[in-house]
Amino acid sequence: MALVIALNKGRIFKEVLPILEQCNVVLDEDPNNSRKLVFDSVDKFHKIVVVRGADVPAYVENGIADIGITGKDTILECDSSLGFYELLDLQIGICRISVAGLAGQKEPERGLRIATKFPKITREHYEKMSNEVSLIKLSGALEIAPLLGLSDVIVDIVESGNTLKANGLEERLKLVDISARLIVNRASMKTKYSEIQNLTKGLSRVLSLS
């Protein structure tokens, strides 16, 4: 039975495919020329499922995929009973989740309004600080929220920080470092142990993690 791997669309998919190929997981057709979301491998020992990043943990937890590769932010944000193991930090897709606000503008002492795509991560951080805040869940570009007065600050993914600067914002506090992680379904870890270990060792070798 094939080992099913869930990958999220976009940056991680593009970065992980060449790495998987070095582990002899080669798709049977070019995904750049296909609208398919499920691919077989040339050797038929693997199957790649392409899903939204936020959905990777759900596919793995429910056993649809044996393995998933997604960002640490997705893992932290998902409302999951953790029916999976986080097995490997691939050390790609490196970035961070940070608090940012308008440059030179102080935050209010009370009633801080925060726009974010990451309400769970944000809420847990401010609860630890015993700060009462108001969260505004957004799905688009967060940088305009402080500019238009919707929020005082944002909590968002930051890579270079150039987008923040271009919109008059400054990074104030890093909450957590983010990178791509390999997660494994708990049951699959028992039933497909050898296959999972072989792939994990291959990824570690290619990425020089061991």
Q: Are residues 89 and 26 in the same domain?
A: yes
Within a 10 A sphere around the Cβ of 15, how many other Cβ atoms?
Answer: 15
* pLDDT score of 96: 97
Q: Are residues 57 and 113 in the same domain?
A: no
The CATH code of the domain that includes 138 is: 3.40.190.10
Q: Are residues 65 and 146 in the same domain?
A: no
Residue 42 CA to residue 37 CA, distance in Å, equals: 16
Q: Are residues 131 and 192 in the same domain?
A: no
- Contact call for residues 171 and 161 (beta carbons, < 8 A): yes
Q: Are residues 75 and 113 in the same domain?
A: no
Q: Are residues 77 and 136 in the same domain?
A: no
Q: Are residues 159 and 186 in the same domain?
A: no
Query: 70 in the Ramachandran plot: left (φ > 0), alpha (ψ -120 to 50) or beta?
Result: beta
Residue 182 CA to residue 170 CA, distance in Å, equals: 32
Q: Are residues 23 and 58 in the same domain?
A: yes
Q: Are residues 85 and 188 in the same domain?
A: yes
DSSP state of 27: B
Q: Are residues 99 and 22 in the same domain?
A: no
Cα dihedral 45, 50, 53, 56, rounded to 10, equals: -40
For the chain of 210 residues, list the mean pLDDT of each consecutive stretch of 10: 91 91 92 89 94 92 96 88 88 95 91 96 92 92 96 96 95 96 96 96 86
pTM of the model: 0.90
How many distinct structural domains can be found in the chain?
2
- Domain hosting 84: range is 3-93+179-206
Q: Are residues 112 and 152 in the same domain?
A: yes
Nearest one of 19, 10, 56, 49 to 157, comparing CA atoms: 10
